[in-house]
Amino acid sequence: MIYSRIAGTGSELPAKIVTNHDLEQIMDTSDQWIRDRTGIRERRVISEGETTTTLAEAACQKAIEAAGVDPGEIDLFVMGTTTPDLVFPSSACLVQKKLGLPDCGAMDVNAACSGFMYALSIADKYIRCGDAGKVLVCGAETLTQVVNWERRDTAVLFGDGAGAVVLEDSAEPGILSTHIHANGDYADLLRTDTGVSQGFGDLSHNDYKPEVEMKGNEVFKVAVRTLHRIVEETLGANDLQKSDLDWLIPHQANLRIIAATARMLDMSMDHVVVTVDRHGNTSAASVPLALDEAVRDGRIQRGDMASKFDDGDLHAKADTKIRHFVDACKMG
């Protein structure tokens, strides 16, 4: 039987740091207000010359180097993003060129905050069915470009970044299972206010851009309410108990939701990878960013059992769907 395993990880963050104290200067908010509600202290924001694909390129290059593979060996490239450089061609194709990848399949997956997890699920299936031996998977976002910096309900939450992994085929289990869900009933909880075929609104203003809209309290409730079902589904599918997990790598959106997930799994926060305080919510980039950090600083070792959650109820609403994803992954 063919399995997929994570062979290498990589990540990239913009150099520019925007702290809560910086935001106090431009909107009606405070460091204490933001930290109490989200756990966020600072976030990274792109500067001139940086885009989703420049971040993705750097993260992917690091993952390829960590995996010890040649770019020419990559059979497929799947990139999760909801903030592509262009409507088309896909950001995956642009990064493919920059990395010098072969003439392999390359595609974007727009699943908002669950984008990386959806991309990882696709890559896992390609390897398991024998259609690919090595797949590059990336999650990259620049959501700071679609927030209104005068609105504290959304602007304080998001940051920019990219994370990537190389999956390869293996005779031993690496990724144990993937589980993805969606529910369009929650489309209005977290979304952008416009789109391509719907129209971009008042185009008389040259600086017009889409803007994130969110019903924060409802988002929080839906996310917490759904976590238990997703936890039980994934553990049950793999005949695992909560005590079998060594690490939790959740989507980094809100520290209170992360803590609630840990309590549900009876896990100490010492075994939860947390980056939301320094990165903010980087959407599709959050899980691979956190994974790469924990691998590189030595916390996560090969053979550890890690559960990677994207509580998509909370965030994948920007593309009109709520997504839930849990990936039980044995690093090895």
Q: Are strands 76-80 and 134-142 parallel, antiparallel or unpaired?
A: parallel
Q: Are strands 305-310 and 322-330 parallel, antiparallel or unpaired?
A: antiparallel
Q: For residue 110, indicate whether it is catalytic.
A: no
DSSP letters spanning 252-275:
-S-HHHHHHHHHHTT--GGGB---
- Out of 281, 315, 324, 329, the active site residue is 281
DSSP letters spanning 54-94:
HHHHHHHHHHHHHHT--GGG--EEEEE-SS-SSSSS-HHHH
135 within 8 A of 127, measured Cβ to Cβ: yes
Q: For residue 21, indicate whether it is catalytic.
A: no
Three-state DSSP class for 200?
A: coil
- Out of 20, 60, 138, 251, the active site residue is 251
Give just the sign of the alpha carbon dihedral 296, 299, 301, 304: negative
Cβ contacts of 103 within 8 Å, gap of 6 or more: none
What does the alpha-carbon distance between residue 257 and residue 302 come to, in Å, rounded to a whole number? 27
DSSP letters spanning 131-165:
S-SEEEEEEEEEGGGGS-TT-HHHHTTB-EEEEEE
- Out of 93, 113, 138, 329, the active site residue is 113
What does the alpha-carbon distance between residue 255 and residue 189 come to, in Å, rounded to a whole number? 19
Q: For residue 138, indicate whether it is catalytic.
A: no
What does the alpha-carbon distance between residue 282 and residue 161 come to, in Å, rounded to a whole number? 6
Active site residues: 113, 251, 281
